[in-house]
Structures are given as structure tokens and as C-alpha cells.
Structure 1
Amino acid sequence: MKFINVLWVSLLLNAAFAGAQREELLSHSVQTTLQRSISDRAEPRLIFDSPAQAEAWLAEMSERLKKRIPDEFVRRKLLTAIHYESTRAGLDPQLVMGLIHVESGFNRYAVSVVGARGLMQVMPFWQRSIGSPEHNLFDINTGLRYGCTILRHYLDIENGDYFRALGRYNGSLGKAEYPNLVHGAWKNWYDWSPNSGQKVAQR
């Protein structure tokens, strides 16, 4: 799929049903686990095998987001938070970047037609369910922590099935459009390995 098609379709889908996560009754144990995850306020940091690898990832991803986020300091701060919260939740940071690409286009102040907020388009009912009404979903670290915690929760429900977990995240369980869109954004824009170099950026 060409980049322009991925972006155009993502914008259409986002307008149609982005962030329509379903409010659900959580068991006490699940609710407690999610609340504990949300309340942990550790400072974001890159988690790699070596500082050189961390800098290589940060430099490469920063270059890919340059047009969307011109300020280098802001880009690097955002990328550090994405990598930390994704890794902390046991998620692939590149997948999470693909999800953010589709959900908000990296606009931290995005609000969907159904009221989802922030980078990962989190529905406000999650504040009541596992957090606090005082939490600001437009805040980079808070929004990412909620989004990654919620996606991890759905992934656990679906026994590691990303297709179904992404469907739950978007409120379109069983439909292929949204999971395919996230996967396409991930692979076309943010795929990375320590030896990948400028593969995606040079396409």
C-alpha cells in the first residue's frame, strides 16, 4: 500500500469510528491491575541493550517524524515516552507508533467525533474506570500510559491476537479495516531493526 493511500484511508476511518472503545465491566482483579499500571509515574526513558542502539533508534524515528513534528526537542521527548510506555506494557513501540499514526496523526490534542482524546484516542470513561477524572488525556505521558495499558489489556483478553486486540481498541472487533490500517502504517512508516538503517526513510 502506498503511503498516500495509508494516510488517506486512515483519515477516513478516523473520522468514521476512531477511538470508539467500549466501556466494559471489569473484574476487581483486572481493574486493580490496570489502576496500578496507570498510577505508576516513572520517568520515561529509552530501554535498549546499549546507549548506541537507543540513539540509533531515536535518531531514525526522529527523522521520520520531522515533517509532522518540526521541533526536535518535542520529537525526541515524545519518542522516548512512546518507547518507554510501549516497552513497559510489553508492546512493540513501532506498532504503537502505527496506531498513533492512524488514530491521531501524532496530534496530542486530537478529539474524535465520539469524544476520544489525545495521541492514542482514549475514551474518557477509562479515567473513571481505572484512573482519575483529574488525569489529562492530552498530556503526552498520561495519554500514552492509558493507551498502552488499554491495548495490553485487550491483547491479554485476546490471548496475544493483535488483529482482535486492535479491533477491540478501535471498537470494530471482527472487522479488518482498522487492524490492517495500523499494520500498514507500522510496516510502511515505522518498521525498524538495529540493522535496518534508512530503509523506510529512503522509499
Structure 2
Amino acid sequence: MIRRRRWIASALGGAGLWSLGASPARAGGQLEEPLVDSIRTALSSAVANSAPPIPEFASLEARLTYLRWLGAMSARLQRRKPSWQERKEFLQTVWYESRRAGLDTQLVLGLIQVESAFRKFAVSPVGARGYMQVMPFWTRVIGDGDVSKLFHMQTNLRFGCVILRHYLDRERGDLYMALGRYNGSRGQPQYPNAVFAAARNWQFDMQPGVIPERSPDPSKPSERVPGGPGG
């Protein structure tokens, strides 16, 4: 139990630990699995679309909500990314790519925190790269084979979100199991719990006066979160 708690604490990089410096990349290594042609084609198409990450809003209220979110997240990320322009571009891209993939933005930020501690050029011991620690084989399976592109911010975030969406579909919406698959530790509680806990750092009340939905308790491995859009 003590060992498990230490692992989670070191993986979170939470508010109390951020001042201690960056932790090593912690990707467990996604496993290469055979894909049927239809899925391979769909995933290739999803990562090939080069639309710029420019959020579009149906109303002024939606835009104002986004700007409030951007300001709140920027303040929390300032220690990791001192440059306002860099923070803005990063957060805008995370917002865009997570919603494009139908993922919870708060969860994606938590995953990035655990995987790379928000380091663009992070490389894990098993070779996973970038913010979302994407394994190089994915560039061959659904990309153009250029591994260096995984250090490009939007490319890395797009691959990561598309891959997590794929795993979520494979697990029929079970985010707990999908996160385990993403980490190469399917069925084990440490990684999903670490991501759920880290995601709490990125909670945001989308509407003033409304209490945000409770995040899962990392001490309860069986508690799981739906994978629908949010943030």
C-alpha cells in the first residue's frame, strides 16, 4: 500500500509537488495490436486532417465560457509554461483536440500531467514521445512514418486523443479500462487512478454558481468516469 501511494504521489505532479521539478515520463508503453482495415483507415483519416485548432462557438456565452476556462487553466499552468503565448496555444490545442475526439478536456490535461508533466520533448524509457507519450509505432500504423512529428504539439495531441478515443471505443466506453490500455497496463488500477486524481487539478466550473460534477476517488479503483465531452 505504501509503495502504491508513493507511485501515485510521484505520478500526479499535483499542486503540492509541482515545485519539486519535473518527474520522468511515465508511459508504460501502448501495445501494438493488429487493426482491421476499416479501423486503420478511420484512424489514419482522423490524424491526417490538418484543420487548425481554432475553437468555434455557437454563441457569445459559449465563447465567454471558453475564455474563462482559458484564463483559469493558464494560471494553473504558469509554473510549467511561463510564456503566455505558449500556454495559450497549448491550452487552445488541448481544448480543440479533446473535443474533436469526444473526450473530456479535464481528463486529457490530467493524462498529460501524469504522462509527461507538460514537457513537449519528454521521452520515456520505452520510447514514447511528447506531451501524451505516443509510442513511435503509431506513426507507422496510422501516420506517415515520421516519428519526429510526435514532438510537434498539435500532432502529438491529435495522435494521443485519437488513440485514447480508439481505446475507449474498444472498451465500450469504459474509461478505466481504456486508460489502462493507453498505458499498457490494462486492468491495473495505478495508472487510471493517477490520471483521475491528476484531472482534479484541472476542474473548471463552466457556469458560475454551478458545482462541478465530482471527480472519481483515486482510492477506489472500481469508480469510473464516462468518456463523453466535457471539460
Q: Deviations over 1:95-122 (max 9, x none)?
A: 0000000000000100000000000000
**What are the residue-to-residue correspondences of 1:173-184 with 2, within 5 Å?**
173-184=186-197
1:19–1:103 contact (8 Å) kept in structure 2: no
Instruction: Please state whether the residue corresponding to 1:45 is helix, strand or coil.
Output: coil
Give the Cα separation in 1 of the matches to 2:195 and 2:206. 22
Instruction: Please state whether the residue corresponding to 2:169 is helix, strand or coil.
Output: helix
2:99 is matched with which residue: 87, 101, 106? 87
1:121 is matched with which residue: 133, 139, 157? 133
Task: List alignment gaps of at least 5 residues for structure 1.
Answer: none
TM-score under structure 2 length normalisation: 0.78
The alpha carbon displacement at 1:46 in A equals 2.7
| 1:25 maps to 2:27 | no
- What letter corresponds to residue 173 of structure 1 in structure 2? R
Between the two proteins, the alignment pairs up a number of residues equal to 193
**What are the residue-to-residue correspondences of 1:1-203 with 2, within 5 Å?**
7-10=9-12, 18-48=27-57, 50-134=62-146, 136-187=149-200, 189-195=201-207
Give the Cα separation in 2 of the matches to 1:158 and 1:43. 29
- What letter corresponds to residue 122 of structure 1 in structure 2? V
- What letter corresponds to residue 156 of structure 1 in structure 2? D
Q: Output the aligned Cα RMSD.
A: 2.3
The alpha carbon displacement at 1:6 in A equals 5.3
2:40–2:141 contact (8 Å) kept in structure 1: yes
Counting aligned pairs with the same residue, the percent is 47
Give the Cα separation in 1 of the matches to 2:208 and 2:117. 24
Give the Cα separation in 2 of the matches to 1:131 and 1:19. 21
1:19–1:122 contact (8 Å) kept in structure 2: no
The alpha carbon displacement at 1:144 in A equals 0.3
Task: List alignment gaps of at least 5 residues for structure 2.
Answer: 1-5, 14-22, 212-231
Structure 1 residues 45 and 19, CA gap change in structure 2 (3 angstroms): farther
Give the Cα separation in 2 of the matches to 1:173 and 1:37. 24
Give the Cα separation in 2 of the matches to 1:22 and 1:160. 19
Instruction: Please state whether the residue corresponding to 1:137 is helix, strand or coil.
Output: helix
Q: Deviations over 1:102-147 (max 9, x none)?
A: 0000001000000000000000000000001225001000000000
The alpha carbon displacement at 1:175 in A equals 0.2
1:111–1:121 contact (8 Å) kept in structure 2: yes
Q: Deviations over 1:15-50 (max 9, x none)?
A: 595140000100000000000001000010235552
- What letter corresponds to residue 36 of structure 2 in structure 1? S
The alpha carbon displacement at 1:63 in A equals 0.5
Give the Cα separation in 1 of the matches to 2:52 and 2:90. 12
2:25–2:123 contact (8 Å) kept in structure 1: no
2:107–2:199 contact (8 Å) kept in structure 1: yes
Structure 1 residues 73 and 22, CA gap change in structure 2 (3 angstroms): same
Give the Cα separation in 1 of the matches to 2:112 and 2:30. 15
- Tell me which residue corresponds to 2:18: none
Q: Deviations over 1:44-90 (max 9, x none)?
A: 02355522111101101101101111000000000000000000000
Larger mean CA deviation between 37-46 and 110-119 belongs to 37-46
TM-score under structure 1 length normalisation: 0.88
